[in-house]
Structure 1
């Protein structure tokens, strides 16, 4: 089974240029070691959506379609789930406290994500050899071919 690292078209170009997926922070301090997040959700991970700051309202995550439009498309990198950590093992590898882990889980649930599907790595991973998909204009995931346009502009 593949787990997916979902990302925006803008970040896809940066990842393609570097050839690496690199763990990143999540905006909460202190969180321990940065994590390269994946999801076993085979369609979309809601927490991968961009944040939207609407005047007078709380921050929300854009939907998959909204993120696609706002971020120049969507892409995902597939990795064998056996190469990743999940649950308590991931929490320990990332040196996250139980409180931070519980807060991430709760926020994920509020965003209508499925935290039990989360997994990840604390190490950078080369994208060479990963399955790479881009989201088509008809909102279907398709294998990325180097000769096709990367994402919508």
Structure 2
């Protein structure tokens, strides 16, 4: 089974140039080792949506459609779940405290995500061995062929 790293069209340019999915922070100060996040959700991971801000403060996550429009499209990278960590093993590899892990889980649930489907890696992952899909204008995932 594949787990997906969902990202935006703008970030796709940088990822393609580097050739790697590189672990990053989650916007919370010093929560441990950065993670490249994946989800077994086969359509979209709501926590991957961009944040909507008002008066400089995050208000909510944009929907899939809103993120598509605001971010130059959507792209996903598929990785075999056997190459990734999940649950307690991921928490330990990422050196997250139980409190931070519980807060992430709760925040995900509030965003209507399914945290039990989350996977991750604390190492960079070359994109050459991953499946790449782009979201079409008709909102269907399609394989991506590099020129």
Q: Which range, TM-score by smaller chain? A: over 0.9
- Alpha-carbon distance change, 64 to 6 in structure 1, aligned in 2, over 3 angstroms: same
Per the alignment, residue 49 of structure 2 pairs with: 49
State whether structure 2 residue 28 is matched by structure 1 residue 34.
no
Per the alignment, residue 117 of structure 1 pairs with: 117
Runs of 4+ more than 2 Å apart: 54-58
Per the alignment, residue 6 of structure 2 pairs with: 6
How do 1:137-148 and structure 2 match up within 5 A? Answer: 137-147=137-147
Cα shift at 1:55: 4.8
Count of matched residue pairs? 147
SS at match of 2:24: coil
Q: TM-score, normalised by structure 1?
A: 0.93
Per the alignment, residue 80 of structure 1 pairs with: 80
> In the aligned structure 1, how far is the partner of 2:28 from the partner of 2:129?
32
State whether structure 2 residue 98 is matched by structure 1 residue 92.
no
SS at match of 1:53: strand
Instruction: In structure 1, list runs of 5 or more residues that go unmatched.
Output: 148-153
How do 1:7-22 and structure 2 match up within 5 A? Answer: 7-22=7-22
> In the aligned structure 1, how far is the partner of 2:89 from the partner of 2:114?
18
Cα shift at 1:145: 1.2
8 Å contact 2:51–2:58 — kept in the other structure?
no
Instruction: In structure 2, list runs of 5 or more residues that go unmatched.
Output: none
Per the alignment, residue 134 of structure 1 pairs with: 134
8 Å contact 2:47–2:111 — kept in the other structure?
yes
8 Å contact 2:2–2:80 — kept in the other structure?
yes
